[in-house]
């Protein structure tokens, strides 16, 4: 065997798995489709597409993957460190409704069982509360007061080293055993890629220590297939095939391991497991694969101010949030000063409708407000003057991933389908009202995401589920310890395991759930196989 364990993906689940497994004495390899970035390698602006966007088929090898489907537009991370290198550093614990969802209720006392893993994850990721008040925070506070919800305003728990702005010091988190860190300069460019070194990405904690302890990270390796080596249930180990992503992938590589941890993110894990199931490599995967895909019930809006007098960018990516009701959570977001290319994801604010009517509503808005529409086409200076509103809900809704056969290939592609009993929302009124109020107070221009306005397709930065925990293979894809039904030594530890919408940014919960799953694996013995 090349390794005891192969971890597929290096995001929150993958990096956590790698560290805990290598600490237990196992040999560990980590496969990551994206490239490795040093802090200085991140894009200086979002216009540097080759360093910002991920589309290797056309030579773009950045950190942000944008994937459109019929029912959802997905933003996700790419690169060593996974979503941690592009996310907004925001680490809330899940809302209480998450732990009580029927999909996994009764399998464990989840809120209690995850308490210690949450605390460990917060310590490892360096969670602290934003220590300052930004202009965007003041606007959000004012809006909360206008609707009688001022008591819900809170500053964000973030994975950021504040220290002295721009000053580099020895590791302040792990008694000097971690990398040097530089204090946050409040440039707001966390989601463009932190070039300062203040953002607590996984390369500065979990993955840093995993590599230090002997885990081998292999970048530019996209997994294309997983097959049992001997016994069909994987008890004898697995062969993993990889290739370099891009137009010219080169020769396939084969790597063997006794156990596999799937941590390719909800989109990557669902896609790979679907291909393995339908090609016959792992045919016994539950028929529930692709069901209960959660969008975190999200909507993203924006307000662009007439000028830069507010200095909205002078913050971290997400610095505060409010609850407009028990189910709805709104965060104020900035891309900093150099995120202008993101302007083309937005258009004029457009109200509710259907896939066929909202486009006409948008066109009507453009006719009635030609100057405003013209402003939506001008990108330069946009991110300096704009705050986004990230709206999330803990409501129980979902879509499904469906595997569709590709022509002349054994591989499949994923499409989406609304869950008829609990469809995910395509419009959230509470978000639109917040954007409209802030625009009115500031003289700004309220905006919807373009695909939501033009095609009734909402956007999520937090796609989850599809390989959810369940009591058995008829009700889920993995068990309460995140082991794949039907196979030995194969775990799913990423957002695809989550059974419900957390109603907040999910990274901390993914990490905590992975900490718990890894705690169930015994330390290596001289002749032991993974559990």
Give all domains of the chain, ordered by start, each with its CATH number. Answer: 3-519 (3.50.50.60)
Whether the CB-CB separation of 389 and 439 falls below 8 Å is answered with no
Q: What is the pLDDT of residue 530?
A: 54
Q: What is the pLDDT of residue 407?
A: 79
pTM of the model: 0.96
| Three-class SS state of 161 | coil
User: Residue 259 forms beta bridges with which residues?
Assistant: 5
The one catalytic residue among 278, 310, 323, 462 = 462
Integer Cα distance of 428 and 400 in angstroms: 20
Q: What is the pLDDT of residue 527?
A: 46
Its sign, for the CA torsion 90, 103, 517, 13, is negative
Integer Cα distance of 14 and 36 in angstroms: 15
Whether the CB-CB separation of 345 and 450 falls below 8 Å is answered with yes
Residue 329 a catalytic site member: no
Q: In a structure prediction context, what are the per-residue pLDDT tens digits for the chain, which is 531 residues long?
A: 899 999 999 999 999 999 999 999 999 999 999 999 999 999 999 999 999 999 999 999 999 999 999 999 999 999 999 999 999 999 999 999 999 999 999 999 999 999 999 999 999 999 999 999 999 999 999 999 999 999 999 999 999 999 999 999 999 999 999 999 999 999 999 999 999 999 999 999 999 999 999 999 999 999 999 999 999 999 999 999 999 998 888 788 999 999 999 999 999 999 999 999 999 999 999 999 999 999 999 999 999 999 998 899 999 999 999 999 999 999 999 999 999 999 999 999 999 999 999 999 999 999 999 998 998 889 999 999 999 999 999 999 999 999 998 876 778 999 999 999 999 999 999 999 999 999 999 999 999 999 999 999 999 999 999 999 999 999 999 999 999 999 999 999 999 999 999 999 999 999 999 999 999 999 998 645 555
Chain-centre distance for alpha carbon 149:
28
Q: What is the pLDDT of residue 405?
A: 86
Integer Cα distance of 450 and 179 in angstroms: 40
Its sign, for the CA torsion 418, 420, 426, 431, is negative
Integer Cα distance of 274 and 414 in angstroms: 8
Whether the CB-CB separation of 92 and 122 falls below 8 Å is answered with no
Q: What is the pLDDT of residue 341?
A: 96
Q: What is the pLDDT of residue 375?
A: 87
């Amino acid at each position: 065997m090349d390794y005891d364990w192969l971890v597929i993906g290096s995001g929150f689940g993958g990096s956590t798995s790698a560290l805990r497994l290598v600490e237990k004495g196992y040999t560990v390899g980590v496969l990551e489709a994206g490239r490795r970035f040093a802090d200085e390698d991140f894009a200086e602006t979002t216009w540097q597409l080759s360093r910002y966007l991920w589309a290797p088929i056309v030579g773009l090898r950045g950190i942000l993957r944008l994937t459109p489907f019929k029912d959802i537009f997905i933003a996700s991370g790419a690169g060593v460190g996974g979503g941690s290198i592009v996310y907004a550093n925001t680490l809330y614990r899940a809302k209480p409704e998450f732990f009580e969802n029927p999909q996994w209720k009764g399998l464990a006392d989840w809120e209690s069982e995850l308490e210690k893993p949450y605390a460990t994850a917060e310590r490892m990721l360096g969670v602290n509360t934003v220590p300052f008040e930004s202009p965007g925070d003041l606007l959000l506070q004012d809006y909360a007061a206008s609707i009688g919800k001022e008591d819900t305003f809170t500053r964000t728990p973030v994975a950021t080293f504040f220290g002295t702005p721009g000053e580099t010091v020895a590791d302040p988190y792990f008694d000097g055993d971690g990398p040097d860190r530089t204090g946050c300069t409040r440039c707001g460019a966390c989601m463009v890629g932190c070039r300062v070194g203040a953002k607590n990405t996984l390369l500065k904690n979990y993955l840093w220590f995993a590599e230090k302890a002997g885990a081998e990270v292999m970048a530019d390796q996209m997994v294309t297939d997983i097959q049992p080596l001997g016994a069909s249930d994987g008890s004898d180990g697995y062969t993993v095939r990889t290739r370099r992503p891009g137009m010219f992938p080169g020769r396939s590589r084969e790597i063997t391991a006794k156990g596999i941890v799937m941590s390719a993110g909800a989109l990557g894990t669902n896609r790979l497991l679907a291909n393995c199931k339908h090609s016959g490599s792992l045919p016994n995967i539950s028929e529930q694969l692709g069901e209960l895909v959660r969008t975190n019930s999200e909507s993203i809006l924006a307000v662009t101010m007439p000028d830069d007098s507010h200095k909205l960018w002078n913050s971290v990516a997400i610095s505060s949030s409010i609850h407009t009701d028990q189910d709805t959570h709104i965060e104020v977001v900035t891309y900093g000063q150099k995120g202008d290319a993101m302007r083309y994801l937005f258009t004029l604010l457009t109200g509710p409708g259907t896939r066929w009517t909202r486009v006409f509503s948008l066109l009507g808005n453009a006719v009635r407000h030609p100057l405003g529409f013209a402003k939506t086409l001008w990108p330069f200076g946009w991110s300096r003057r704009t705050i986004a509103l990230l709206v999330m809900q803990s409501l129980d809704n979902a879509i499904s991933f469906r595997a569709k056969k590709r022509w002349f290939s054994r591989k499949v592609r994923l499409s989406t389908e609304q869950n008829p009993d609990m469809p995910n929302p395509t419009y959230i009124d509470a978000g639109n009202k917040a954007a409209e109020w802030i625009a009115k107070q500031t003289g700004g221009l309220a905006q919807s995401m373009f695909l939501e306005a033009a095609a009734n397709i909402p956007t999520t930065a937090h796609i989850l589920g599809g390989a959810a925990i369940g009591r058995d293979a008829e009700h889920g894809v993995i068990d309460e310890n995140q082991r794949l039904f039907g196979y030995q030594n194969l775990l799913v530890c990423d957002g695809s395991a989550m059974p419900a919408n957390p109603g907040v940014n999910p990274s901390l919960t993914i990490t905590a759930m992975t900490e718990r799953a890894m705690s169930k694996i015994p330390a290596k013995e001289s002749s032991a196989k993974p559990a």
